[in-house]
Amino acid sequence: MQILEYGMTSEPLGSLLFSAIAAFLYLFMVNQPATMRRTAVKTLAVAMLAVLALIVDGPLLLIAALLACAAGDAFLAQDDERMFLAGLVAFLVGHVLYVALFYTSGAMEVVVEQPVRLLIGVAFMVFAMLATLRLVPAAGQLGPPVGAYITVIAAMGLSALLMPGWGVVFGAGLFMASDAVLAAGRFLHAGEDGSQPYGHFVWISYYLAQALMALSVLGLA
Protein backbone atom coordinates (compact mmCIF):
# COMPACT_ATOMS: atom_id res chain seq x y z
CA MET A 1 0.00 0.00 0.00
CA GLN A 2 1.28 3.46 -0.87
CA ILE A 3 0.39 4.73 2.58
CA LEU A 4 3.37 2.74 3.87
CA GLU A 5 5.61 5.20 2.04
CA TYR A 6 4.86 7.70 4.80
CA GLY A 7 6.74 5.46 7.26
CA MET A 8 5.73 3.10 10.03
CA THR A 9 5.57 5.88 12.64
CA SER A 10 3.82 8.46 10.46
CA GLU A 11 0.58 10.22 11.37
CA PRO A 12 -1.26 9.00 8.24
CA LEU A 13 -0.46 5.36 8.96
CA GLY A 14 -1.27 5.84 12.64
CA SER A 15 -4.67 7.28 11.75
CA LEU A 16 -5.43 4.34 9.46
CA LEU A 17 -4.37 1.82 12.11
CA PHE A 18 -6.46 3.61 14.74
CA SER A 19 -9.42 3.43 12.37
CA ALA A 20 -8.88 -0.27 11.63
CA ILE A 21 -8.51 -1.13 15.32
CA ALA A 22 -11.77 0.68 16.14
CA ALA A 23 -13.51 -1.15 13.29
CA PHE A 24 -12.18 -4.48 14.57
CA LEU A 25 -13.22 -3.78 18.16
CA TYR A 26 -16.73 -2.87 17.05
CA LEU A 27 -17.16 -6.37 15.63
CA PHE A 28 -17.41 -7.56 19.24
CA MET A 29 -19.99 -4.86 20.05
CA VAL A 30 -22.36 -5.17 17.10
CA ASN A 31 -25.07 -6.98 19.04
CA GLN A 32 -24.50 -5.28 22.39
CA PRO A 33 -26.93 -2.73 23.88
CA ALA A 34 -26.31 0.93 23.11
CA THR A 35 -23.66 2.50 25.37
CA MET A 36 -21.36 5.50 25.12
CA ARG A 37 -18.35 3.21 24.65
CA ARG A 38 -20.05 1.29 21.84
CA THR A 39 -21.06 4.55 20.14
CA ALA A 40 -17.57 6.00 20.47
CA VAL A 41 -15.86 2.94 19.00
CA LYS A 42 -18.27 2.76 16.07
CA THR A 43 -17.95 6.48 15.33
CA LEU A 44 -14.16 6.54 15.57
CA ALA A 45 -13.70 3.91 12.85
CA VAL A 46 -14.80 6.23 10.04
CA ALA A 47 -13.97 9.50 11.83
CA MET A 48 -10.30 8.48 11.84
CA LEU A 49 -10.48 7.99 8.08
CA ALA A 50 -11.56 11.63 7.91
CA VAL A 51 -8.57 12.54 10.08
CA LEU A 52 -6.32 10.62 7.67
CA ALA A 53 -7.77 12.54 4.73
CA LEU A 54 -7.21 15.81 6.58
CA ILE A 55 -3.59 14.98 7.44
CA VAL A 56 -2.68 14.23 3.81
CA ASP A 57 -4.56 17.29 2.50
CA GLY A 58 -7.30 15.24 0.87
CA PRO A 59 -10.32 16.79 -0.88
CA LEU A 60 -12.65 18.71 1.41
CA LEU A 61 -15.62 16.87 -0.08
CA LEU A 62 -14.09 13.54 1.00
CA ILE A 63 -13.43 14.79 4.52
CA ALA A 64 -16.98 16.15 4.78
CA ALA A 65 -18.49 12.90 3.41
CA LEU A 66 -16.56 10.78 5.93
CA LEU A 67 -17.55 13.06 8.82
CA ALA A 68 -21.21 12.95 7.77
CA CYS A 69 -21.08 9.15 7.70
CA ALA A 70 -19.32 9.08 11.08
CA ALA A 71 -22.17 11.19 12.46
CA GLY A 72 -24.60 8.71 10.91
CA ASP A 73 -22.77 5.89 12.70
CA ALA A 74 -23.17 7.72 16.01
CA PHE A 75 -26.90 8.16 15.45
CA LEU A 76 -27.49 4.58 14.31
CA ALA A 77 -25.62 3.25 17.34
CA GLN A 78 -28.60 4.35 19.45
CA ASP A 79 -31.72 2.23 19.94
CA ASP A 80 -34.11 5.01 19.07
CA GLU A 81 -36.42 5.60 16.10
CA ARG A 82 -35.64 9.33 15.97
CA MET A 83 -31.92 8.59 15.98
CA PHE A 84 -32.43 6.13 13.13
CA LEU A 85 -34.05 8.88 11.07
CA ALA A 86 -31.24 11.28 12.00
CA GLY A 87 -28.72 8.66 10.91
CA LEU A 88 -30.57 8.22 7.63
CA VAL A 89 -30.33 11.96 6.99
CA ALA A 90 -26.63 12.04 7.93
CA PHE A 91 -25.82 9.22 5.52
CA LEU A 92 -27.95 10.83 2.83
CA VAL A 93 -25.82 13.98 3.19
CA GLY A 94 -22.69 11.83 3.09
CA HIS A 95 -23.77 10.20 -0.16
CA VAL A 96 -24.61 13.58 -1.73
CA LEU A 97 -21.08 14.72 -0.85
CA TYR A 98 -19.64 11.54 -2.37
CA VAL A 99 -21.65 12.17 -5.55
CA ALA A 100 -20.24 15.69 -5.75
CA LEU A 101 -16.72 14.39 -5.12
CA PHE A 102 -16.86 11.63 -7.73
CA TYR A 103 -18.59 13.82 -10.31
CA THR A 104 -16.01 16.61 -10.01
CA SER A 105 -12.99 14.29 -9.71
CA GLY A 106 -13.95 11.65 -12.28
CA ALA A 107 -14.41 11.70 -16.03
CA MET A 108 -16.83 10.15 -18.53
CA GLU A 109 -13.82 9.01 -20.56
CA VAL A 110 -13.17 6.35 -17.90
CA VAL A 111 -16.54 4.74 -18.65
CA VAL A 112 -16.03 5.04 -22.41
CA GLU A 113 -12.65 3.30 -22.19
CA GLN A 114 -14.02 0.53 -19.94
CA PRO A 115 -17.51 -0.44 -21.22
CA VAL A 116 -17.88 -3.03 -18.46
CA ARG A 117 -18.64 -0.07 -16.22
CA LEU A 118 -21.85 0.46 -18.18
CA LEU A 119 -22.96 -3.04 -17.19
CA ILE A 120 -22.12 -2.29 -13.56
CA GLY A 121 -24.16 0.90 -13.85
CA VAL A 122 -27.14 -1.07 -15.13
CA ALA A 123 -26.74 -3.48 -12.21
CA PHE A 124 -26.72 -0.54 -9.77
CA MET A 125 -29.93 0.83 -11.31
CA VAL A 126 -31.67 -2.55 -11.19
CA PHE A 127 -30.62 -2.87 -7.56
CA ALA A 128 -32.11 0.54 -6.79
CA MET A 129 -35.42 -0.28 -8.47
CA LEU A 130 -35.77 -3.63 -6.71
CA ALA A 131 -34.81 -2.12 -3.36
CA THR A 132 -37.39 0.64 -3.82
CA LEU A 133 -40.17 -1.79 -4.70
CA ARG A 134 -39.37 -4.06 -1.76
CA LEU A 135 -38.28 -1.74 1.02
CA VAL A 136 -40.32 1.43 0.63
CA PRO A 137 -43.70 -0.28 1.28
CA ALA A 138 -42.20 -2.27 4.17
CA ALA A 139 -40.78 0.87 5.78
CA GLY A 140 -44.23 2.30 6.53
CA GLN A 141 -44.00 5.92 7.63
CA LEU A 142 -40.30 5.91 6.86
CA GLY A 143 -41.05 4.96 3.26
CA PRO A 144 -40.43 8.43 1.73
CA PRO A 145 -37.03 9.02 3.38
CA VAL A 146 -36.00 5.43 2.63
CA GLY A 147 -36.96 5.96 -1.02
CA ALA A 148 -34.96 9.19 -1.15
CA TYR A 149 -32.00 7.41 0.41
CA ILE A 150 -32.09 4.61 -2.16
CA THR A 151 -32.13 7.18 -4.97
CA VAL A 152 -29.12 9.02 -3.55
CA ILE A 153 -27.04 5.91 -2.86
CA ALA A 154 -27.76 4.71 -6.41
CA ALA A 155 -26.52 8.08 -7.67
CA MET A 156 -23.41 7.60 -5.55
CA GLY A 157 -22.80 4.20 -7.15
CA LEU A 158 -23.25 5.58 -10.66
CA SER A 159 -20.96 8.55 -10.04
CA ALA A 160 -18.30 6.18 -8.67
CA LEU A 161 -18.05 4.68 -12.16
CA LEU A 162 -16.46 7.96 -13.32
CA MET A 163 -13.47 7.49 -11.02
CA PRO A 164 -10.24 5.96 -12.38
CA GLY A 165 -9.21 2.59 -10.97
CA TRP A 166 -11.54 0.12 -9.33
CA GLY A 167 -11.19 0.90 -5.64
CA VAL A 168 -13.96 3.50 -5.57
CA VAL A 169 -16.25 1.31 -7.70
CA PHE A 170 -15.79 -1.72 -5.44
CA GLY A 171 -16.24 0.49 -2.39
CA ALA A 172 -19.49 1.92 -3.75
CA GLY A 173 -20.77 -1.58 -4.49
CA LEU A 174 -19.94 -2.72 -0.96
CA PHE A 175 -21.65 0.36 0.47
CA MET A 176 -24.81 -0.39 -1.48
CA ALA A 177 -24.74 -4.05 -0.42
CA SER A 178 -24.22 -3.11 3.22
CA ASP A 179 -27.13 -0.68 3.21
CA ALA A 180 -29.39 -3.16 1.41
CA VAL A 181 -28.74 -5.87 4.00
CA LEU A 182 -29.14 -3.38 6.86
CA ALA A 183 -32.49 -2.21 5.48
CA ALA A 184 -33.66 -5.79 4.87
CA GLY A 185 -32.73 -6.70 8.43
CA ARG A 186 -34.61 -3.73 9.84
CA PHE A 187 -37.74 -3.72 7.70
CA LEU A 188 -38.11 -7.26 6.39
CA HIS A 189 -36.44 -9.72 8.76
CA ALA A 190 -36.19 -8.03 12.15
CA GLY A 191 -36.61 -10.40 15.08
CA GLU A 192 -39.46 -10.09 17.53
CA ASP A 193 -37.09 -8.43 19.98
CA GLY A 194 -36.16 -5.81 17.38
CA SER A 195 -32.65 -7.16 17.00
CA GLN A 196 -30.86 -6.64 13.70
CA PRO A 197 -29.66 -9.79 11.91
CA TYR A 198 -26.61 -9.83 9.66
CA GLY A 199 -24.94 -7.14 11.78
CA HIS A 200 -21.40 -8.40 11.27
CA PHE A 201 -21.74 -8.54 7.49
CA VAL A 202 -23.22 -5.05 7.47
CA TRP A 203 -20.37 -3.61 9.53
CA ILE A 204 -17.54 -5.36 7.68
CA SER A 205 -18.85 -4.46 4.21
CA TYR A 206 -19.61 -0.89 5.31
CA TYR A 207 -16.19 -0.26 6.83
CA LEU A 208 -14.35 -1.83 3.89
CA ALA A 209 -16.42 0.38 1.57
CA GLN A 210 -15.45 3.55 3.39
CA ALA A 211 -11.79 2.56 3.66
CA LEU A 212 -11.58 1.53 -0.01
CA MET A 213 -13.17 4.73 -1.26
CA ALA A 214 -11.12 6.97 1.03
CA LEU A 215 -7.77 5.32 0.29
CA SER A 216 -8.49 5.20 -3.45
CA VAL A 217 -9.45 8.87 -3.65
CA LEU A 218 -6.35 9.79 -1.64
CA GLY A 219 -4.16 7.63 -3.89
CA LEU A 220 -3.01 5.56 -0.93
CA ALA A 221 -4.49 2.16 -1.84
Residue range 18-64, pLDDT digits in tens: 999 999 999 999 989 999 999 999 999 999 999 999 999 999 999 99
Q: Are 82 and 46 in contact (CB under 8 A)?
A: no
C-alpha distances out from residue 35 to 27, 42, 83, 153, Å: 15, 11, 14, 29
User: Given a cut of 50, is residue 192 above it in pLDDT?
Assistant: no
Q: Are 199 and 30 in contact (CB under 8 A)?
A: yes
Q: Are 167 and 216 in contact (CB under 8 A)?
A: yes
103-133: per-residue pLDDT in tens?
999 999 999 999 999 999 999 999 999 999 9
User: Given a cut of 50, is residue 74 above it in pLDDT?
Assistant: yes
Alpha-carbon distance 20 to 23, whole Å?
A: 5
What residues have CB less than 8 Å from 191, skipping those under 6 apart?
197
